[in-house]
Protein backbone atom coordinates (compact mmCIF):
# COMPACT_ATOMS: atom_id res chain seq x y z
CA UNK A 1 0.00 0.00 0.00
CA UNK A 2 2.81 2.40 0.91
CA UNK A 3 4.43 1.76 -2.49
CA UNK A 4 1.20 2.58 -4.34
CA UNK A 5 0.73 5.76 -2.33
CA UNK A 6 4.34 6.78 -3.04
CA UNK A 7 3.89 6.02 -6.75
CA UNK A 8 0.70 8.04 -6.91
CA UNK A 9 2.33 10.95 -5.12
CA UNK A 10 5.29 10.76 -7.50
CA UNK A 11 3.01 10.82 -10.53
CA UNK A 12 1.16 13.82 -9.16
CA UNK A 13 4.44 15.62 -8.52
CA UNK A 14 5.65 14.79 -12.04
CA UNK A 15 2.47 16.21 -13.57
CA UNK A 16 2.81 19.34 -11.47
CA UNK A 17 6.47 19.65 -12.46
CA UNK A 18 5.62 19.53 -16.15
CA UNK A 19 2.79 22.06 -15.75
CA UNK A 20 4.85 24.61 -13.83
CA UNK A 21 7.88 24.29 -16.06
CA UNK A 22 5.67 24.52 -19.14
CA UNK A 23 4.08 27.78 -17.97
CA UNK A 24 7.51 29.43 -17.73
CA UNK A 25 8.23 28.48 -21.33
CA UNK A 26 4.84 29.83 -22.42
CA UNK A 27 5.43 33.16 -20.67
CA UNK A 28 8.75 33.55 -22.49
CA UNK A 29 7.49 32.25 -25.85
CA UNK A 30 6.79 35.68 -27.47
CA UNK A 31 10.28 36.97 -26.64
CA UNK A 32 13.13 37.35 -29.09
CA UNK A 33 16.66 36.66 -27.90
CA UNK A 34 17.15 40.42 -27.55
CA UNK A 35 13.92 40.81 -25.54
CA UNK A 36 15.02 38.03 -23.22
CA UNK A 37 18.52 39.47 -22.67
CA UNK A 38 17.72 43.05 -21.59
CA UNK A 39 17.95 44.00 -17.92
CA UNK A 40 16.00 47.23 -17.37
CA UNK A 41 17.37 47.96 -13.87
CA UNK A 42 19.47 46.24 -11.19
CA UNK A 43 16.37 45.04 -9.29
CA UNK A 44 15.08 43.19 -12.36
CA UNK A 45 16.56 40.27 -14.26
CA UNK A 46 16.45 39.26 -17.93
CA UNK A 47 13.89 36.61 -18.88
CA UNK A 48 16.77 34.37 -20.03
CA UNK A 49 18.25 34.53 -16.56
CA UNK A 50 14.94 33.57 -14.89
CA UNK A 51 14.58 30.58 -17.21
CA UNK A 52 18.13 29.44 -16.50
CA UNK A 53 18.22 30.16 -12.75
CA UNK A 54 15.12 28.09 -12.03
CA UNK A 55 16.68 25.23 -13.99
CA UNK A 56 19.95 25.64 -12.08
CA UNK A 57 17.97 25.30 -8.83
CA UNK A 58 16.64 21.85 -9.83
CA UNK A 59 19.97 20.79 -11.31
CA UNK A 60 21.88 21.77 -8.19
CA UNK A 61 19.68 20.84 -5.25
CA UNK A 62 17.89 17.84 -6.77
CA UNK A 63 19.98 16.30 -9.53
CA UNK A 64 23.50 17.02 -8.31
CA UNK A 65 22.75 16.22 -4.67
CA UNK A 66 20.39 13.24 -5.08
CA UNK A 67 21.11 11.49 -8.41
CA UNK A 68 24.35 9.48 -8.32
CA UNK A 69 26.53 10.08 -11.34
CA UNK A 70 24.63 13.10 -12.62
CA UNK A 71 26.83 15.40 -14.72
CA UNK A 72 25.88 19.11 -15.05
CA UNK A 73 24.74 20.31 -18.46
CA UNK A 74 27.49 22.95 -18.37
CA UNK A 75 29.82 23.45 -15.40
CA UNK A 76 30.00 27.19 -16.11
CA UNK A 77 26.29 27.72 -15.52
CA UNK A 78 26.69 27.46 -11.75
CA UNK A 79 28.58 30.77 -11.79
CA UNK A 80 26.22 32.43 -14.26
CA UNK A 81 22.88 31.44 -12.76
CA UNK A 82 23.32 31.21 -9.00
CA UNK A 83 21.38 34.09 -7.46
CA UNK A 84 22.40 34.76 -3.85
CA UNK A 85 23.29 31.36 -2.38
CA UNK A 86 26.60 32.03 -0.68
CA UNK A 87 26.91 28.33 0.11
CA UNK A 88 27.14 27.64 -3.64
CA UNK A 89 30.13 29.91 -4.16
CA UNK A 90 30.86 32.91 -6.36
CA UNK A 91 28.36 34.17 -8.90
CA UNK A 92 27.93 36.66 -11.72
CA UNK A 93 27.13 40.16 -10.42
CA UNK A 94 23.39 40.76 -10.25
CA UNK A 95 23.42 44.25 -11.86
CA UNK A 96 25.27 42.80 -14.86
CA UNK A 97 22.95 39.93 -15.72
CA UNK A 98 21.87 41.88 -18.79
CA UNK A 99 25.41 41.58 -20.17
CA UNK A 100 24.98 37.83 -20.70
CA UNK A 101 24.31 37.89 -24.45
CA UNK A 102 25.65 34.33 -24.48
CA UNK A 103 24.44 31.68 -23.94
CA UNK A 104 21.61 32.43 -26.34
CA UNK A 105 17.95 31.93 -25.51
CA UNK A 106 17.75 28.74 -27.59
CA UNK A 107 20.70 27.27 -25.70
CA UNK A 108 19.04 27.98 -22.37
CA UNK A 109 15.81 26.42 -23.55
CA UNK A 110 17.87 23.32 -24.40
CA UNK A 111 19.27 23.49 -20.87
CA UNK A 112 15.73 23.55 -19.47
CA UNK A 113 14.81 20.55 -21.59
CA UNK A 114 17.83 18.63 -20.33
CA UNK A 115 17.04 19.37 -16.69
CA UNK A 116 13.34 18.59 -17.14
CA UNK A 117 14.08 15.19 -18.67
CA UNK A 118 16.59 14.32 -15.94
CA UNK A 119 14.24 15.29 -13.10
CA UNK A 120 11.30 13.38 -14.55
CA UNK A 121 13.46 10.30 -15.09
CA UNK A 122 14.82 10.46 -11.55
CA UNK A 123 11.56 11.23 -9.72
CA UNK A 124 10.40 7.61 -9.15
CA UNK A 125 13.70 6.77 -7.41
CA UNK A 126 14.20 9.98 -5.48
CA UNK A 127 13.96 9.89 -1.66
CA UNK A 128 11.30 11.87 0.20
CA UNK A 129 13.85 14.58 1.00
CA UNK A 130 14.43 15.17 -2.70
CA UNK A 131 10.66 15.24 -3.38
CA UNK A 132 10.42 18.05 -0.83
CA UNK A 133 13.14 19.92 -2.71
CA UNK A 134 11.25 19.46 -5.98
CA UNK A 135 8.16 20.95 -4.31
CA UNK A 136 10.26 23.85 -3.03
CA UNK A 137 11.72 24.31 -6.51
CA UNK A 138 8.26 24.45 -8.08
CA UNK A 139 7.10 27.12 -5.66
CA UNK A 140 10.37 28.94 -6.26
CA UNK A 141 9.74 28.80 -10.01
CA UNK A 142 6.22 30.16 -9.56
CA UNK A 143 7.72 33.14 -7.78
CA UNK A 144 10.06 33.62 -10.74
CA UNK A 145 7.13 33.42 -13.16
CA UNK A 146 5.66 36.50 -11.50
CA UNK A 147 9.09 38.12 -11.37
CA UNK A 148 9.58 37.38 -15.05
CA UNK A 149 6.30 39.12 -15.92
CA UNK A 150 7.23 42.10 -13.72
CA UNK A 151 10.66 42.33 -15.32
CA UNK A 152 9.34 41.91 -18.86
CA UNK A 153 6.94 44.81 -18.24
CA UNK A 154 9.80 46.93 -16.89
CA UNK A 155 11.87 46.01 -19.96
CA UNK A 156 9.21 46.96 -22.49
CA UNK A 157 8.47 50.19 -20.57
CA UNK A 158 12.03 51.31 -21.37
CA UNK A 159 11.25 51.20 -25.10
CA UNK A 160 9.96 54.59 -26.37
CA UNK A 161 7.61 52.69 -28.70
CA UNK A 162 5.87 51.15 -25.64
CA UNK A 163 5.18 47.92 -27.55
CA UNK A 164 2.58 45.36 -26.52
CA UNK A 165 3.91 41.89 -25.80
CA UNK A 166 0.43 40.38 -25.93
CA UNK A 167 -2.51 41.99 -27.66
CA UNK A 168 -5.78 42.27 -25.80
CA UNK A 169 -9.07 44.01 -26.14
CA UNK A 170 -9.58 47.48 -24.77
CA UNK A 171 -10.05 47.71 -21.04
CA UNK A 172 -13.81 47.70 -20.60
CA UNK A 173 -15.00 50.82 -18.82
CA UNK A 174 -16.86 49.75 -15.73
CA UNK A 175 -19.14 51.62 -13.40
CA UNK A 176 -17.28 52.93 -10.41
CA UNK A 177 -17.46 50.62 -7.40
CA UNK A 178 -19.84 51.37 -4.57
CA UNK A 179 -18.48 53.19 -1.53
CA UNK A 180 -16.21 51.18 0.72
CA UNK A 181 -17.88 49.03 3.31
CA UNK A 182 -15.89 48.46 6.50
CA UNK A 183 -15.71 44.89 7.79
CA UNK A 184 -14.93 44.52 11.47
CA UNK A 185 -11.93 42.30 12.08
CA UNK A 186 -11.26 39.64 14.66
CA UNK A 187 -10.08 40.80 18.05
CA UNK A 188 -8.41 39.32 21.10
CA UNK A 189 -5.91 36.48 20.96
CA UNK A 190 -5.68 35.00 17.47
CA UNK A 191 -3.36 32.48 15.84
CA UNK A 192 -1.47 33.25 12.62
CA UNK A 193 1.37 31.67 10.66
CA UNK A 194 1.64 28.38 8.83
CA UNK A 195 0.30 25.48 10.87
CA UNK A 196 2.36 22.74 9.22
CA UNK A 197 -0.29 21.37 6.83
CA UNK A 198 0.85 21.43 3.19
CA UNK A 199 3.69 23.37 1.62
CA UNK A 200 4.84 26.75 2.96
CA UNK A 201 8.06 28.73 2.88
CA UNK A 202 10.05 28.73 6.10
CA UNK A 203 9.32 32.42 6.79
CA UNK A 204 5.58 31.67 7.11
CA UNK A 205 6.02 29.83 10.40
CA UNK A 206 5.82 28.86 13.06
CA UNK A 207 2.18 29.43 13.95
CA UNK A 208 1.87 31.64 16.99
CA UNK A 209 -0.59 33.74 19.00
CA UNK A 210 -1.09 37.48 18.54
CA UNK A 211 -3.29 40.06 20.21
CA UNK A 212 -5.62 42.10 18.00
CA UNK A 213 -7.34 45.32 19.00
CA UNK A 214 -10.66 46.45 17.44
CA UNK A 215 -10.21 47.36 13.78
CA UNK A 216 -11.89 47.14 10.39
CA UNK A 217 -10.71 46.43 6.84
CA UNK A 218 -12.14 47.84 3.63
CA UNK A 219 -14.15 45.31 1.65
CA UNK A 220 -12.35 46.13 -1.59
CA UNK A 221 -9.10 47.46 -3.02
CA UNK A 222 -8.38 51.13 -3.71
CA UNK A 223 -9.17 51.96 -7.34
CA UNK A 224 -7.50 54.03 -10.05
CA UNK A 225 -10.33 56.54 -9.75
CA UNK A 226 -9.72 57.02 -6.05
CA UNK A 227 -5.99 57.32 -6.66
CA UNK A 228 -6.63 59.91 -9.37
CA UNK A 229 -8.50 61.98 -6.78
CA UNK A 230 -5.42 61.75 -4.56
CA UNK A 231 -3.24 62.96 -7.45
CA UNK A 232 -5.57 65.81 -8.36
CA UNK A 233 -5.79 66.88 -4.71
CA UNK A 234 -2.02 67.36 -4.67
CA UNK A 235 -1.27 64.19 -2.77
CA UNK A 236 2.25 63.99 -4.22
CA UNK A 237 2.89 67.62 -3.24
CA UNK A 238 1.93 67.57 0.46
CA UNK A 239 4.88 66.63 2.67
CA UNK A 240 2.60 66.20 5.71
CA UNK A 241 1.16 63.04 4.12
CA UNK A 242 4.51 61.34 3.69
CA UNK A 243 7.03 59.52 5.82
CA UNK A 244 10.34 61.37 5.82
CA UNK A 245 12.08 58.77 3.66
CA UNK A 246 9.05 58.65 1.37
CA UNK A 247 9.02 62.41 0.85
CA UNK A 248 12.74 62.38 0.09
CA UNK A 249 12.10 59.60 -2.46
CA UNK A 250 9.26 61.54 -4.11
CA UNK A 251 11.38 64.66 -4.41
CA UNK A 252 14.51 62.89 -5.62
CA UNK A 253 12.73 60.91 -8.34
CA UNK A 254 10.01 63.39 -9.31
CA UNK A 255 7.25 60.89 -8.58
CA UNK A 256 3.77 62.21 -9.40
CA UNK A 257 1.70 59.09 -10.12
CA UNK A 258 1.91 55.27 -9.97
CA UNK A 259 4.54 53.60 -12.11
CA UNK A 260 3.42 53.08 -15.73
CA UNK A 261 0.79 55.85 -15.58
CA UNK A 262 1.16 58.16 -18.59
CA UNK A 263 -0.21 61.69 -18.86
CA UNK A 264 -1.33 62.18 -22.48
CA UNK A 265 -3.59 64.67 -24.23
CA UNK A 266 -4.86 66.03 -20.95
CA UNK A 267 -5.75 62.61 -19.55
CA UNK A 268 -4.17 59.51 -18.08
CA UNK A 269 -3.33 56.15 -19.64
CA UNK A 270 -1.44 53.19 -18.29
CA UNK A 271 1.17 50.94 -19.87
CA UNK A 272 0.99 47.17 -19.48
CA UNK A 273 2.01 43.97 -21.19
CA UNK A 274 -0.89 44.65 -23.56
CA UNK A 275 0.49 48.08 -24.46
CA UNK A 276 -0.93 51.53 -23.73
CA UNK A 277 -4.60 51.62 -22.67
CA UNK A 278 -6.83 54.35 -21.27
CA UNK A 279 -6.82 54.38 -17.49
CA UNK A 280 -9.82 52.41 -16.23
CA UNK A 281 -10.98 54.24 -13.12
CA UNK A 282 -12.76 51.18 -11.72
CA UNK A 283 -9.72 48.89 -11.78
CA UNK A 284 -7.53 48.51 -8.69
CA UNK A 285 -4.56 50.85 -8.58
CA UNK A 286 -1.31 49.01 -9.23
CA UNK A 287 2.47 49.53 -9.20
CA UNK A 288 2.69 51.70 -6.11
CA UNK A 289 5.37 51.74 -3.45
CA UNK A 290 4.88 51.34 0.28
CA UNK A 291 5.60 55.05 0.61
CA UNK A 292 2.76 55.87 -1.78
CA UNK A 293 0.35 53.42 -0.15
CA UNK A 294 1.07 54.87 3.28
CA UNK A 295 0.61 58.46 2.07
CA UNK A 296 -2.68 57.63 0.36
CA UNK A 297 -4.00 55.92 3.47
CA UNK A 298 -3.18 59.02 5.53
CA UNK A 299 -4.89 61.24 2.91
CA UNK A 300 -7.97 58.97 3.09
CA UNK A 301 -8.12 59.30 6.91
CA UNK A 302 -7.28 55.62 7.26
CA UNK A 303 -4.17 53.44 7.52
CA UNK A 304 -2.69 50.27 6.07
CA UNK A 305 -3.65 46.97 7.71
CA UNK A 306 -1.15 45.05 9.75
CA UNK A 307 -0.03 41.64 8.52
CA UNK A 308 -1.90 40.08 11.45
CA UNK A 309 -5.15 41.91 10.69
CA UNK A 310 -5.03 40.91 7.03
CA UNK A 311 -4.14 37.28 7.70
CA UNK A 312 -6.89 36.73 10.26
CA UNK A 313 -9.41 38.29 7.85
CA UNK A 314 -8.26 35.89 5.11
CA UNK A 315 -8.50 32.76 7.24
CA UNK A 316 -11.75 31.65 5.62
CA UNK A 317 -11.13 33.17 2.17
CA UNK A 318 -10.36 31.14 -0.95
CA UNK A 319 -6.66 31.72 -1.75
CA UNK A 320 -7.19 30.39 -5.28
CA UNK A 321 -9.99 32.85 -5.95
CA UNK A 322 -9.94 36.17 -7.69
CA UNK A 323 -7.94 37.38 -10.67
CA UNK A 324 -4.70 35.34 -10.70
CA UNK A 325 -2.41 33.86 -13.36
CA UNK A 326 -3.74 30.80 -15.17
CA UNK A 327 -1.91 30.98 -18.51
CA UNK A 328 0.59 33.09 -20.39
CA UNK A 329 -0.77 36.35 -21.69
CA UNK A 330 -1.36 39.96 -20.67
CA UNK A 331 -2.05 40.41 -16.99
CA UNK A 332 -3.75 43.37 -15.36
CA UNK A 333 -5.87 44.07 -12.29
CA UNK A 334 -9.58 44.02 -13.05
CA UNK A 335 -11.18 44.15 -9.58
CA UNK A 336 -13.46 41.73 -7.83
CA UNK A 337 -13.48 42.49 -4.15
CA UNK A 338 -11.83 39.33 -2.83
CA UNK A 339 -8.81 39.20 -0.55
CA UNK A 340 -6.74 37.32 -3.13
CA UNK A 341 -5.93 38.38 -6.67
CA UNK A 342 -5.44 41.55 -8.74
CA UNK A 343 -2.65 43.14 -6.66
CA UNK A 344 -0.44 42.32 -3.72
CA UNK A 345 -1.57 44.43 -0.79
CA UNK A 346 0.88 46.47 1.24
CA UNK A 347 0.69 46.10 5.01
CA UNK A 348 2.25 48.34 7.65
CA UNK A 349 4.22 45.35 9.00
CA UNK A 350 7.95 44.89 8.58
CA UNK A 351 9.24 41.59 7.21
CA UNK A 352 10.65 40.15 10.42
CA UNK A 353 10.86 36.57 11.75
CA UNK A 354 7.83 35.10 13.47
CA UNK A 355 8.56 34.10 17.10
CA UNK A 356 10.51 30.83 17.04
CA UNK A 357 11.48 31.12 13.37
CA UNK A 358 14.29 28.86 12.20
CA UNK A 359 15.65 28.90 8.67
CA UNK A 360 15.76 25.61 6.78
CA UNK A 361 19.00 23.69 7.11
CA UNK A 362 21.66 23.86 4.43
CA UNK A 363 22.13 26.29 1.56
CA UNK A 364 18.39 26.42 0.77
CA UNK A 365 18.02 28.01 4.21
CA UNK A 366 19.38 31.21 2.66
CA UNK A 367 16.07 31.55 0.83
CA UNK A 368 14.18 33.97 3.10
CA UNK A 369 15.71 34.50 6.53
CA UNK A 370 18.65 36.64 5.47
CA UNK A 371 16.31 39.20 3.87
CA UNK A 372 14.47 40.01 7.11
CA UNK A 373 15.71 43.59 7.32
CA UNK A 374 14.30 46.82 5.90
CA UNK A 375 11.48 45.27 3.87
CA UNK A 376 7.69 45.40 4.25
CA UNK A 377 5.15 42.58 4.01
CA UNK A 378 2.54 42.35 1.27
CA UNK A 379 -0.35 39.87 1.47
CA UNK A 380 -2.72 38.18 -0.93
CA UNK A 381 -1.84 37.51 -4.57
CA UNK A 382 -1.79 39.46 -7.82
CA UNK A 383 -2.95 39.05 -11.39
CA UNK A 384 0.57 37.72 -12.10
CA UNK A 385 0.64 35.19 -9.24
CA UNK A 386 0.16 31.60 -10.46
CA UNK A 387 -3.19 30.42 -9.14
CA UNK A 388 -2.79 28.11 -6.15
CA UNK A 389 0.58 29.55 -5.17
CA UNK A 390 -0.59 31.80 -2.34
CA UNK A 391 -2.34 31.26 1.02
CA UNK A 392 -3.28 33.39 4.07
CA UNK A 393 0.11 32.86 5.73
CA UNK A 394 2.08 33.76 2.56
CA UNK A 395 4.52 36.64 3.11
CA UNK A 396 5.60 38.60 0.06
CA UNK A 397 8.14 41.31 0.80
CA UNK A 398 9.74 44.29 -0.93
CA UNK A 399 11.66 47.41 0.03
CA UNK A 400 9.47 50.47 0.69
CA UNK A 401 10.50 52.33 -2.48
CA UNK A 402 9.96 49.44 -4.91
CA UNK A 403 6.90 49.47 -7.14
CA UNK A 404 7.57 47.53 -10.32
CA UNK A 405 5.77 44.60 -8.70
CA UNK A 406 1.98 44.26 -9.05
CA UNK A 407 1.28 46.03 -5.77
CA UNK A 408 -1.76 47.96 -4.50
CA UNK A 409 -3.56 48.50 -1.23
CA UNK A 410 -6.60 47.88 0.92
CA UNK A 411 -7.39 50.38 3.67
CA UNK A 412 -7.85 49.70 7.36
CA UNK A 413 -8.83 51.76 10.36
CA UNK A 414 -9.04 51.53 14.13
CA UNK A 415 -12.40 51.10 15.86
Options 3.30.420.10, 3.30.450.40, 3.90.1580.10, 2.60.120.1440; CATH for 182-414 is 3.90.1580.10
The pLDDT of residue 415 is above 50? yes
Residues 6+ apart with CB under 8 A from 269: 261, 262, 276, 277, 278, 279
- Report the mean per-residue pLDDT for the chain: 93
Query: What's the CA gap between 151 and 147, in Å, rounded?
Result: 6
pLDDT at 174: 57
pLDDT at 86: 81
- Residue 84 — very low, low, confident or very high, per pLDDT cuts 50/70/90? confident
* pLDDT-wise least confident of 72-81, 226-235, 243-252, 365-374: 365-374
How many angstroms from the chain centroid is the CA of residue 132? 22
pLDDT at 233: 98
* pLDDT-wise least confident of 166-175, 230-239, 262-271, 356-365: 166-175
| Strands of the 407-408 sheet, one edge to the other | 396-398, 376-380, 344-350, 407-408
Residues 6+ apart with CB under 8 A from 26: 327, 328
The pLDDT of residue 150 is above 60? yes
pLDDT at 83: 87
Query: What's the CA gap between 17 and 120, in Å, rounded?
Result: 8
pLDDT at 336: 75
- Residue 388 — very low, low, confident or very high, per pLDDT cuts 50/70/90? very high
Q: Report domain extents, the chain.
A: 2-157, 182-414
Give the tens place of pLDDT for each residue, 166-210: 987 655 655 677 889 999 999 999 999 998 888 999 999 999 999
3-state secondary structure of 347: strand
The pLDDT of residue 63 is above 90? yes
β-strand partners of 107: none
Count of Cβ atoms closer than 10 Å to residue 43 Cβ: 18
Q: Does the structural domain 2-157 have CATH classification 1.20.120?
A: yes
The pLDDT of residue 1 is above 50? no
Closest CA to 52 of 82, 96, 22, 32: 82
- Residue 366 — very low, low, confident or very high, per pLDDT cuts 50/70/90? low
The pLDDT of residue 6 is above 70? no
Amino acid sequence: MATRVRTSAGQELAARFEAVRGLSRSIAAPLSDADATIQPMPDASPAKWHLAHTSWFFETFVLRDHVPGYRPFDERYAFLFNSYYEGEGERHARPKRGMLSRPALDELLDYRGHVDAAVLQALPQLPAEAHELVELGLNHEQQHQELMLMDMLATFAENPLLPALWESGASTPASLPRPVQWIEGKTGIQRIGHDGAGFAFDCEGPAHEVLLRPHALADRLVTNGEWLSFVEDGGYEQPTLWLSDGWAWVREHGVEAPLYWLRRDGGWSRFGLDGVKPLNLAEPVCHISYYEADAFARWAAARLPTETEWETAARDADPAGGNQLDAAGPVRPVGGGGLFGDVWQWTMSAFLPHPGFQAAEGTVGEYNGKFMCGQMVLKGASCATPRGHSRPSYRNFFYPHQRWQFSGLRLARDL
